[in-house]
Amino acid sequence: MKQWLKTIRKGYGKKLVSIHAWNAWIVVILAVSGLMLIGGFWRETLGIGRVWLKWLHIAVGLAMLVPVVYYLFLASKHWKQLRNKPWQKANTLIVLALLIGWLLSGLVLWQFKLAGPSWSNAALLIHDLLTWVGLPYIIYHSITRTRWLKDPARRTIQTNESSAHSPGVQHAANSFPVTDKPDTRNTPAAISSARAESDSSRTSASKLEKPQPVYTRRAFIRSAVGVGLAVTLGPTFVSWIGKNLKFDNSIDSMLENDPNQMIPLPQPSSASSPPIGGGAEGHFRVYTVTPIPSFSNANWSFRIDGLVERAQIWNWEQFVKLARTVQISDFHCVTGWSVYKNTWEGIPLKHFLEKAGVKPGAHSVKFYSGDGVYTDAITMEQAEMDDIMVAVMHDGKPIPADLGGPVRLIIPQMYAYKSVKWLNRIEIIDSEHIGYWEERGYDKDAWLPGASQLYPNTSGS
């Protein structure tokens, strides 16, 4: 084992340079692919490519394990090099913590169905936080450390012995390169080299007496890289902080700027205001595949048609008069975040199906979004679940356009890509329908782990 470790650590300095370089490339690829995965523009533009990009992100994330494990074999020598350098030790620990944190939280997000919503929600928050805080730091570290380590003098382990010749200048015998070479100290070449090194030491001592520049070129490069990263990633980080700490992402703020102009506004039942769930816990992230549409009484209608006995259509004034019920349910996104204890008010899907009268031969219920692009579907058997709702209100307030209002579908026992936003049409069809994200690699059945009827419906007026 010792011999194996010795072989692994041979040429340690150059290997450390390579590790920094590989880490830098891995982090850059993860950063670019990760930002593309969450960007609304790229979600629509990439189409099926988004699924491939997701798997690339996962594969490169797993590849991060290789340089981390490799570094651990070199860590003892590196730690000797960092003797009496507490700031550099702290820097190394920070970078390792970031890499391991990304790896572990990424694994949970990758296996979100096994982990469950609670773990996935926490992992996503950690993953995001490490990204916005750690990404600039680790790129800066990888760039500056790679340049720093290319200096051979940096890849030596310094002993604690002091020079016998010049105070403050270390003798060549007190440092040695991290390489394994034959002992040639008594050869003429070595003696000549030693004399040259002695002369070099005296020259270095004289240089130390000269005034040093206040701000070196290397320090300028490091500062420039740091400022560049701050300017590039800073605004996105501030935006992320604002959304996650609810600085300007509350439902109230969305309603204040809601582009929808629906008259009259739906009035909440006594079970919705105050919300019987106590108010939603968590916050929604706004993901769309198109620009957010807006609606008014003039361009909004709701219909149910297809294999039904009585196709029907409602305008907004008629729709808000339909009898509604209230339910409490959790909302889980397939990307890992959740909002708990939402109080939804709306019309159960079963009521629409009963009102229209489903014809024999019906296979699926297809849902259309008012954005003109997004569709999804569930089977007739799945449509019998009591908690599937065509929602009009959330926590006693109208649903803003950002969250899919004025009307959206809610299927609590499935991941949210099944809960179609801006819902304006239900069609009963005789075959299977592959929805927008299913066409792009998502599961056709989006069941949550251990899906069951968690919350009973509570009737409201």
pLDDT given for residue 174 in this prediction: 37
Instruction: Report how far residue 253's alpha carbon sits from residue 261's, in angstroms, rounded to the nearest whole number.
Output: 16
pLDDT of 183 > 60? The answer is no
pLDDT of 150 > 90? The answer is no
Question: Which residues are bridge partners to 328 per DSSP?
Answer: 343
Cis peptide before 268 (omega within 30 of 0): no
Q: Tell me whether residue 191 is exposed, middle or buried, using C-beta atoms within 10 angstroms of its C-beta: 0 to 12, 13 to 18, 19 or more.
A: exposed
pLDDT of 453 > 50? The answer is no
Main-chain phi, psi angles of 156, to 5 degrees: -120, 155
> How would residue 317 be classed by pLDDT, with cut points 50, 70 and 90?
very high
Q: How many other CB atoms sit within 10 Å of the CB of residue 339?
A: 20
CB-CB contact of 107 with 113 (8 Å): no
Q: Name the CATH topology of 262-459.
A: Sulfite Oxidase; Chain A, domain 2 (3.90.420)
pTM of the model: 0.64
Main-chain phi, psi angles of 277, to 5 degrees: -80, -5
pLDDT given for residue 442 in this prediction: 84
70-95 residue pLDDT tens: 888 888 777 888 888 888 888 888 88
pLDDT given for residue 380 in this prediction: 96
pLDDT of 422 > 50? The answer is yes
DSSP for residue 36: H
pLDDT of 303 > 90? The answer is yes
Instruction: Report how far residue 48's alpha carbon sits from residue 52's, in angstroms, rounded to the nearest whole number.
Output: 7
Counting residues of the chain whose pLDDT is more than 90, the rounded percentage is 36
Residue boundaries of the structural domains of the chain = 2-154+216-244, 262-459
